[in-house]
């Protein structure tokens, strides 16, 4: 099987990449930073010498970036089974006070990237017998919280898009899953004064994704809601 993971060099995306490779699924990794992509590639090809690993650097917050990923991907692959729309950005703030452009930036990165990439690559996913699209939503897709601001708006929208996609693709044999994690250790939490055990590990999310992939063709996990044991932050 072949997967494409956006924002796959760090945090939750990197954990999903690792988990897919462990389960003998080939991966194409996207992110913006070329050095990160190269060093991850070097490490993964050592750990998983028999897997096919490819990557490309594209900024998915722009239509040009999405188009370049589509070109890179289709230049290297003729099939796509699993698409993980994971790339996202979190700019904290209140809608009444945040910097002008915050909403646009997060809608572009967190919603439009998934929308446009899915539309462009859907013909390949439809050809697969195991087609599965994951959208990385958030607990902030369901619950508004102080300082969540425009991030929450973008994740509510992505969750809404995921529900629409699920209905649209139900009859076409493609599974659609919304992932809604609570606080999970990653760069987004760098510098926060909390014990590691208060947040989830990125691999916890990867485990839940793998479990959704492993179900029989007659079952789909529509939503994965995972929270820290002690609840939301
Ligand atoms: N961590 C949490 O607590 C949490 C909870 C709920 C949901 N989420 C969601 O989970 C996803 C991953 O979060 P994370 O915490 O693992 O983030 P992270 O550690 O900051 O990693 C983000 C990944 O996305 C890439 N990326 C960012 N902007 C991009 C763009 N415009 N185009 C392409 N790639 C881009 C980054 O690489 P480059 O910088 O090189 O582009 C990186 O690989 C996000 O959608 C986030 O909203 C996170």
Q: CA 55, 58, 60, 63 torsion: positive or negative?
A: negative
Is 60 a pocket residue for ligand 1 (Cβ < 6 Å)?
yes
Does residue 117 lie in a domain region?
A: yes
Does residue 231 lie in a domain region?
A: no
Is 70 a pocket residue for ligand 1 (Cβ < 6 Å)?
no
Q: Which of 8, 31, 56, 200 to mutate to test the pocket of ligand 1 (most atoms within 8 A of CB)?
A: 31
For the domain that residue 120 is a member of, what is the CATH number?
3.40.50.720
Does residue 135 lie in a domain region?
A: yes
Tally of domains in the chain: 1
Does residue 88 lie in a domain region?
A: yes
Does residue 232 lie in a domain region?
A: no
Q: What is the mean pLDDT of residues 47-56?
A: 98
Per-residue pLDDT reduced to its tens digit, 148-202: 999 999 999 999 999 999 999 999 999 999 999 999 999 888 889 999 999 999 9
| Ligand 1 centroid – CA 181 distance (Å) | 12
pTM over 0.95: yes
Does residue 120 lie in a domain region?
A: yes
Q: Which domain holds residue 157?
A: 2-226
To 10 degrees, the CA torsion angle through 201, 206, 211, 217?
A: 160
For the question of residue 151 being annotated catalytic, the response is yes
């Amino acid at each position: 099987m072949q997967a494409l993971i956006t924002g796959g060099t760090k945090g939750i995306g990197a954990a999903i990449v690792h988990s897919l490779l462990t389960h003998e699924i080939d991966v194409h990794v996207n992110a913006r930073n070329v050095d990160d992509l190269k060093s991850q590639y070097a490490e993964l090809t050592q750990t998983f010498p028999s897997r096919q690993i490819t990557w490309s650097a594209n900024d998915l917050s722009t239509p040009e970036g999405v188009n370049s990923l589509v070109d890179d991907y289709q230049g290297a692959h003729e099939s796509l089974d699993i698409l993980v729309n994971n790339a996202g950005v979190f700019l904290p703030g209140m809608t009444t006070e945040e910097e002008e452009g915050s909403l646009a930036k997060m809608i572009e990165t967190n919603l439009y990237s998934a929308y446009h990439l899915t539309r462009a690559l859907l013909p390949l996913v439809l050809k697969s017998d195991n087609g599965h699209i994951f959208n990385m939503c958030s607990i902030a897709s369901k619950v508004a919280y102080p300082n969540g601001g425009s991030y929450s708006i973008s994740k509510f929208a992505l969750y809404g898009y995921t529900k629409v996609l699920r209905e649209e693709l139900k009859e076409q044999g493609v599974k659609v899953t919304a992932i809604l994690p609570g606080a999970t250790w990653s760069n987004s939490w760098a510098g926060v004064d909390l014990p590691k055990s208060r947040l989830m590990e990125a691999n916890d999310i990867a485990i839940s994704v793998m479990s959704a992939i492993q179900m029989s063709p007659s079952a789909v996990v529509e939503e994965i809601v995972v929270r820290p044991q002690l609840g939301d932050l």
